Amino acid sequence: MTSLPSWSSIAARIVQGVGVQPGDLILVRDQAGRIEVLEEILLAIEAAGAVPLPQWMDPSYMTRLW
């Protein structure tokens, strides 16, 4: 049985895949309400030298847009 990757490693892959560069301002929208995931992504962005700008969105708001 293989173990699941940690949110930290997933966040690092997200930052790498998006191509975050030092000095970038990165808007991060949280539509799921999973604070532990959001925290890891924000930390990974900061570790890459960029500035995260979190935006919390109520899932019901996104439902109304569709």
Question: For position 62, what pLDDT does the model report?
Answer: 65
Question: For position 37, what pLDDT does the model report?
Answer: 94
CA 5 – CA 9 distance, rounded (Å):
6
pTM of the predicted protein model: 0.83
Kindly report, residue by residue over 45-55, the tens digit of the pLDDT.
999 999 999 99
> Which 3 state secondary structure label does DSSP give 50?
coil
For the cut 90, the answer to whether the pLDDT of residue 39 exceeds it is yes
What are the sequence ranges of the domains in the chain?
A: 7-65
> Which 3 state secondary structure label does DSSP give 46?
helix
Question: For position 1, what pLDDT does the model report?
Answer: 65
